[in-house]
Structure 1
């Protein structure tokens, strides 16, 4: 079951990088995010009629909504401030360390020295990316804030999906509540700009919205099967896919330091995948 959870999380990481590449390549980032989450909510809406509301996980669901709101705000600001190849590794690589600390200290999740070593390699890779050719303090600040929010919602959703009657129940109501909330808040925030963005970017928004369901759906199912510290670090394999997309699709310049950091992250991911 742990290996299945690991494979689910690896696939989740790859798709997550694609979603963020679509967001980064768009025009107005906040409007694009409103489209993505709004479409996610519309896609799961029919299932709300057949999947029960996860009453036992309601507190975790509410906490996740609030955390994701701040997470997406920080994410948008980070992408507005710098290249994806510069900030994406920082925001994703800092998350597993924080998530592991919270999960172990506050919730008593198990962690071995081998898992800690894999997490350390992922984190060192992140530092390598952030230290050389840093995109600036403002961008780094938003990226680290995004990582902190990622860590927080990771632990909250892991507890929530385990408290829910089924992974499907938490999944549907999570995306329905989050999508409606984010779409409404960000669309109102941007006003007329959102309408202009929706007219030209609705197709990428729909694709990214569908992919968002897949990437976080895989993560939620994995959290019911395995331990949070290992799985949180494995999901950050998205950094590798993110750097690849930044280079080959977005045509960003990536130096040797960022490639070295990606190699460390790959080593840490390989170690975590090898563990049973």
Structure 2
């Protein structure tokens, strides 16, 4: 389904700006999930709690909105696909952060997604992509190769990070079609967050055998902050996808790499080698090429 037309707004400029802002905020959310308070004797469990509190807070925040927006008729199938993909995405993401640094894993997780998003959008749904967009997406792929060759992620971490990126591409395409098929972007956004929050809490509660709920009480403050930011970042992304083409907008969201790099050094005490910095620079250069195109 084609993006909604918005008379009086310069094509691509508004959704592009929304995606750049979304990427920066997304990096902050991931830093909270990965952050210092998640450094525990059981890193996997700690990150389940961090992610569960984030998604639960987002769902609670938007639950009242479901009474004010239309039922997402026309988008139910896309919501179901997005929910199923998110189950795998969430698990792969917390497994990645349990074994890898944010500055090493985040570029692979986020940088691989636009390549796959473009392949799915163009190959499966026939979406048209400009030459400049393809060049920018290819540059992002080359930057990711720099990280892989640098061996900053072991095989396990790389596998989980690439799985996360693949799931990101799948839910991005599903949500792009869903937000365009719904009666309004607000309708899809509200129901999507409530549904994802519910399945996140259910999955992590099952994996932790109920220990999640006791730990949520101790971590509700950072969870509430991350959940609020999560609504802002992905809400912006979904709204942007209702206005413009999927592949280049998905790539522009990866400008959040700069924010992730700064946070990993300033607050998480991680080291950044020249290869990591060059990879992030390459990803940003690719996004810049898309903007110039």
Aligned to 2:99: 81
Secondary structure of the residue that 2:124 maps to in structure 1?
A: helix
Cα offset, 1:42, TM superposition: 0.4
What TM-score do the two structures reach when normalised by structure 2?
0.91
RMSD: 1.1
Rounded Cα–Cα distance in structure 2 between residues aligned with 1:17 and 1:61: 24
Measured in 1, the distance between the counterparts of 2:132 and 2:13 equals 15
1:65 Cα deviation after fit: 0.4
Q: How many angstroms does 1:129 deviate by?
A: 2.1
Match of 1:121 in 2: 139
SS of equivalent residue, structure 1 residue 222: helix
Match of 1:45 among 41, 60, 63: 63
Which sits farther off after the overlay, 190-199 or 10-19?
Answer: 190-199
Give the number of the structure whose residues are more often helix, by fraction.
1
Q: Cα deviations across residues 123-173 of structure 1 (Å, max 9, x unaligned)?
A: 211221232142200000000000000000010000000000100000000
Structure 1 unmatched runs, 5+: none
- The partner residue of 1:141 within 142, 159, 174 is 159
Q: What residue number does 2:5 align with?
A: none
The answer as to 2:20 corresponding to 1:10 is yes
5+ residue gaps, structure 2, are 1-10, 39-45
Deviation at 1:197, TM superposition (A): 2.6
Cα contact 1:90–1:127 (8 A) shared by 2: no
Q: Is 2:254–2:284's contact at 8 Å kept on the other side of the alignment?
A: no
1:9–1:218 Cα contact (<8 Å) kept: yes
Q: Distance in 2 between matches of 1:250 and 1:14?
A: 17
- Partner deviation per Cα, 1:54-75 (whole Å, 9 max, x = no partner): 1100000000000011101000
Detail structure 1 runs of 4+ shifted over 4 Å in the superposition. none
2:179 maps to which of 141, 150, 161? 161
Using the size of structure 1 for normalisation, the TM-score is 0.97
Q: How does 1:54-65 map to 2 (within 5 A)?
A: 54-65=72-83
Match among 216, 219, 236 for residue 198 of structure 1: 216
CA distance in 2, matches of 1:134, 1:228: 30
The size of the alignment, in residue pairs, is: 275
In structure 1, what is the Cα distance between the partners aligned to 2:113 and 2:284?
16
